[in-house]
Amino acid sequence: MSTSSCCAGLWTGQPVSHLGRHYRLAGPDWSAVAHPPPAQVPRITVWVAGMLPGTRPFARAARWDGVVPMRLDGTWSVADTEAVAARVRRHGRATGPFDIAVPGESDPGDAGRTSAFAAHESAGATWWVEAVHPWRYGWQEGKALAVGADAPAHRCGTVDRAVAVSADADQC
C-alpha cells in the first residue's frame, strides 16, 4: 500500500489496517482511524507532482485526480503540456475529470498571455500555476526584495495566485 493509498483509506473515516515496510497502521488489536473524515466525497482531491522526463510520477498521477508537472531545466512549454497529457493517457487515464496544473510565468501587461493560456489549455492543461519564486522579482542572495512603489508592476494586488486556464486571464 502506497502513502497515498494509506491516506485515501484514512480519509474514509473507517478503520484501516496496514503493516508495511514503511508504514504501520495497525497492531495486534487495533487499526488506524482518522476523524473527522473529509467532507469532500469520495475523498479530497489528490494531485501528484512529477518531474519531466520521468515516467513513474505520471503513472501514479493517472490513478488520482491530477498532476502538477515540473521541469528541472528550462521553462515550461506547450510541448511539455502535450507530453504530460499523453503520458497520463498512456497510463490509463483517458476519461473522467483530470487536472493538469502547468507551471508558468506571465506578465499581466502582456496582451498575448491569454493566447499562451489557450495553447496550454488546448494541449490538455486545466490550470495555470503562476510562478512566484523570488528570483522572478529580482531577488538576489543577501539583498532585500523591493517592496511598495519599487515592487514590480506584474503582481496581483499583494499576493500572486494560481489562475484557472479557462478563467478570464485579465482579471487580476
Better-scored residue on pLDDT, 31 or 133: 31
Better-scored residue on pLDDT, 52 or 120: 120
Residue 110 lies in a domain: yes
pLDDT tens digits for range 142-169: 777 666 555 544 433 333 334 334 333 3
Q: State the Cα–Cα distance between residues 169 and 161, nearest whole angstrom.
A: 12
Q: Which of 35-44, 46-55, 63-72, 133-142 has the lowest mean pLDDT?
A: 133-142
Q: Are residues 49 and 124 in the same domain?
A: yes
Q: Are residues 52 and 108 in the same domain?
A: yes
Q: Domain of residue 120: give its range.
A: 45-131
Within 8 A by CB and 6+ apart from 163, the residues are 117, 127, 128, 130, 169
Residue 95 has pLDDT above 80, yes or no: no
Q: Are residues 57 and 126 in the same domain?
A: yes
Q: Are residues 8 and 73 in the same domain?
A: no
Q: Are residues 33 and 101 in the same domain?
A: no
Count: domains in the chain: 2
pLDDT tens digits for range 47-57: 999 998 888 99
Q: What is the mean pLDDT of residues 65-71?
A: 94
For position 85, what pLDDT does the model report?
A: 94
Q: What is the mean pLDDT of residues 125-138?
A: 84
